[in-house]
Amino acid sequence: MKKTIKILAVLILAVSVSLFVLSIGARISGIYINTTSSLPVGFYKVVNEPIVSSAYVAFCPPQDAVFDMAMDRSYINRGDCPGGYGLLLKRVFAQSGDTVFIDQVGIFVNGEYLPNSAQLKTDAEGHPLPQYRLQAVLNDAEYLLLSDLNPQSFDARYFGLIARDQIKQVIRPVFTWSH
C-alpha cells in the first residue's frame, strides 16, 4: 500500500513539473494557455496583426482601484504587469469611431445590444461589483474588451475602456474546446 502511494506521489509530481515546464515553454514561444471562462478554453498564439473588432488580445490592466479590488477578490491573477497584475485575455468589441453605451442593462455598440453583457450587482460571494456607466464615441486609443461567452466575466462592464498602450498582443486561437 505504501509503495502504491509513493508511486502515485511521484507520478503527480512528475506531471506537475511537466505542466509547469510546458507552460514556460509555451509562453516563450508566444503561446497562451487560457483556462478561464472569458474565452474558449485552449491555446492561443501571438500574431502580428492589427487590433480590430472581434480580435482576441492580451492586455495589462491599468493600475487603479477597480483592478486592485479584482486582484484582492481573485477575479484576476498576479503577474508581471504594473501593479503586479497578470495579463488578461479578452475580445475586442468596439474601437475608434464606435458608439458605446454601458449601463446595468448591458452594453450597446452602435445601437446593437451585446449578449451576456448585463452588469451584475454582486459577485458569487455577495460582494458589490462596480457599476460602470459610459456613453461615448471611442477615439483612436480606446477599446472595449469583454467576454461574450460568460455573463459573469470581469470585463468592460465593470472596468470600462482600455487604452491602446495597455494592449500588448493580438492573439489567435490555435486549439480550443468547450468547458
Range 103-109 average pLDDT:
96
Is 153 in contact with 38 (CB distance < 8 Å)?
yes
Is 157 in contact with 107 (CB distance < 8 Å)?
yes
Which residues does 47 contact at the CB level (< 8 Å), separation at least 6? 169, 170, 171, 172
pLDDT value at 29 more than 70: no
Q: Maximum distance among all alpha carbons in the chain?
A: 67
Grid cell, residue 15, equals 506531471
Grid cell, residue 101, equals 453605451
pLDDT value at 68 more than 80: yes
Grid cell, residue 115, equals 449578449
pLDDT value at 177 more than 70: yes
Secondary structure, 3-state, the chain:
CHHHHHHHHHHHHHHHHHHHHHHHHHHHCCEEEECCCCCCEEEEEEECCCCCCCCEEEECCCCCHHHHHHHHCCCCCECCCHHHECCEEEEEEECCCCEEEEECCEEEECCEECCCCCCCCECCCCCECCCCCEEEECCCCEEEEECCCCCCCCCHHHHCCEEHHHEEEEEEEEEEECC
Torsion angle of C-alpha atoms 100, 104, 105, 107, degrees rounded to 10: 20
Q: In this predicted structure, what is the pLDDT of residue 178?
A: 75
Q: In this predicted structure, what is the pLDDT of residue 2?
A: 72
What is the percent of the chain with per-residue pLDDT over 70, rounded to a whole number? 87
Q: In this predicted structure, what is the pLDDT of residue 140?
A: 97
pTM, 2 dp: 0.84
- What is the end-to-end Cα distance of the chain in Å, rounded? 35
Band of pLDDT at residue 20, cut at 50, 70 and 90 = low
CATH 3.40.720, applies to 35-177: no
- pLDDT, greater one: 149 or 5: 149
